[in-house]
Amino acid sequence: MDNFEKLKEMKTLHEFETYALDESLSGHGKLYFSAGACTKSTPRYNEDAFHKYRIRPRVLRDVSEPKIDCKVLNSSVSCPIGISPVGLQVLAHQDAESATAKGQLAILHSLPRNLEDPSVTFEDLKWVIENSKLPVIAKGILSGEDARRVVECGISAIIVSNHGSRLLERVVPTIDVLKEVVDAVSETGTEVYLDGGVRSGSDVFISLALGAKAVFIGRPAIWGLSLGGENGVRKILQILKDELFMTMQVAGVRHIEDIQRSMIIRT
């Protein structure tokens, strides 16, 4: 069976993950893209944390044509799902970042990995913002206090992220601190996005209910890339869009702007 036929078979992100780790990723690619810190366990914590939330649907509402379009930093996008920066994509597919970009709905760009500096402070962030002609987004925020600090620096938006749990063992799951970050900057109008653990349309719904303006995915895009290049990435995003659409219909929501925090419960 060729990759085109295999793509047609795929119905969930879990199926993509299983195939990528068993078949389509090389040894080096599998090791790199599945790695976390130390015991490599935390990536699952991100996913498992979503399972603590339950959706409380509303009834008797017209949901015949749910709308999932929105604006991110004043730019119109077809849905609130984008792709996070991921390094070494050539380990997944020969077209690497080029294929990911062609298959994307929205994609972020980060500083090159060789520009990382452990001595960077809030003052350095201010300098970057003052000298950039582009919106600067702070990724890796996991507390309300840090969220307020980066907003004071002049940041354009915040991504609640633990960087795929690649840097710190036992780091807090992103969905568990999303509400705290959103509430900390709610009066400033700063947009907050979530990265980490999103594997279904219901995960997207829960993130939006907790206040995220959009979500970003990393590893799932790589799974799609490894199987079908640009078409694989596009299929991953389409699955999430379709699942979000269905979740909204069953939950009684016509537009993503109408998703409310009261519609979810943490067990």
Q: Note whether 63 and 248 are within 8 A (CB).
A: yes
Residue linked to tokens 């793509």: 7
Phi-psi region of 264 (alpha: psi -120 to 50; beta: other; left: phi over 0): beta
**Residue 233's CB: how many other CB atoms inside 10 A?**
30
Residue linked to tokens 């998703």: 259
**Residue 10's CB: how many other CB atoms inside 10 A?**
20
Give the dihedral sign, CA 7/11/16/22.
Answer: negative
Residues recorded for the chain:
267
Q: Note whether 50 and 238 are within 8 A (CB).
A: no
Catalytic residues: 163
